[in-house]
Structure 1
């Protein structure tokens, strides 16, 4: 490998330190995620929002985490309720995602059903009911950690609704042909790690 000029590295590092909020958002959008609807209930009324900042946090106890903008109405509603639901959307639920992202379609109004008393999106691949355990400030967002108290998975979950680069996507069927395998990939499954 040829030597790297230190002056060139320093200039590249300096340029990498200067970025706008939009550049940061676009860069983070290169990480493909699933799409969820976060829901809660207040005064007998269901409230929900679309998000892609969701992850599992722990198996024991079962914990999930969501990131919600402090400016979103859902932020205070989750705090007040002390509970939240998460519905992992299937690839067929793009209209549901749009609805709770503030882009409703007059032809489609999503339905809720109940999971351990909490509203969750009907037909979602996975539905979770959680009790709020931790609420962390994270810049202009709040990280909510919920302990899962109920979980329901569709008997035959559909492929997930994906989000990447500011657009929805779907998983492609894998191409396991010999030509598609990366060089060095062991096609013989008898090898074990």
Structure 2
């Protein structure tokens, strides 16, 4: 089977866009991820899948992290953390309970590390939810390799 064709196939599943942030001795780090899901309500657990070649992989190991669910107008923020930064930051930081989070995101989920698992060419990080917050708005979506948004009814 062809890996590229499989990637195109799973790309037909529309997802939200998140930025995962965490703190280290050198500051706040983050990465854009659309491979995120809720896992359990008791205990509250979420999962983030991170490519083994991602620069942020080592910063997430055994570290608290925050899932920032992006709004439709935060495409530049997604691109910034996907390795295409702008000259000036397209977002503002705000303090959360477990680190810095992206101001005006649609939702925040702050997590303590729970477990990490081998996921082939990815590592699957489970986090135990310690704090969350959500707001009204439209999510930034990713579909077939492009940003998208929900169509009006």
Q: Would the TM-score normalized by the shorter structure come out above 0.5?
A: yes
**Greater Cα shift, 19-28 or 123-132:** 19-28
TM-score (norm 2): 0.95
Which of the pair has the greater relative contact order for Cα pairs under 8 Å at 6+ separation? 2
RMSD across aligned C-alpha pairs, in angstroms?
1.3
1:171 to 142, 145, 150: 150
Structure with larger Rg = 1
Spell out structure 1 runs of 4+ moving beyond 3 A.
none
- Whether the 8 Å CA contact 1:99–1:110 is kept in 2: the answer is no
- 2: CA distance between counterparts of 1:114 and 1:79? 21
Measured against aligned partners, the alpha-carbon deviations of 1:136-164 in whole angstroms (never above 9, x if no partner) come to 0010100000000011212xx21100000
1:152 aligns with 2:139: no
Q: What is the DSSP-based 3-state SS (H/G/I as helix, E as strand, rest coil) of the residue aligned with 1:73?
A: coil
1:33 counterpart = 2:15 = yes
Cα distance in 2 for partners of 1:66, 1:107 equals 27
The aligned counterpart of 2:58 is: 76
Q: Aligned pairs, how many?
A: 153
- State the shift of 1:108 in Å: 4.2
1:1-193 aligned within 5 A: 19-80=1-62, 82-154=63-135, 157-174=136-153
Which consecutive residues of structure 1, in runs of 5 or more, have no partner in the other structure? 1-18, 175-193
Aligned residue for 2:90, secondary structure, equals coil
Return the offset for 1:173.
1.3
Higher strand content, 1 or 2 = 2
CA contact (8 A) 2:65 2:98 kept: no
* TM-superposition CA deviations, 1:14-73 (whole Å, max 9, x none): xxxxx3221111111111000000111100500000010001111111111000011112
C-alpha distance after superposition, 1:83-106 (max 9, x if no partner): 111000010111110111111222
**SS of the residue aligned with 1:171?**
coil
Q: How far apart in 2 are the matches of 1:50 and 1:100?
A: 5
TM-score (norm 1): 0.76
Residues 98-153 of structure 1, C-alpha deviations (whole Å, 9 max, x = no match): 11111122254322212103121111010111001010001010000000001121
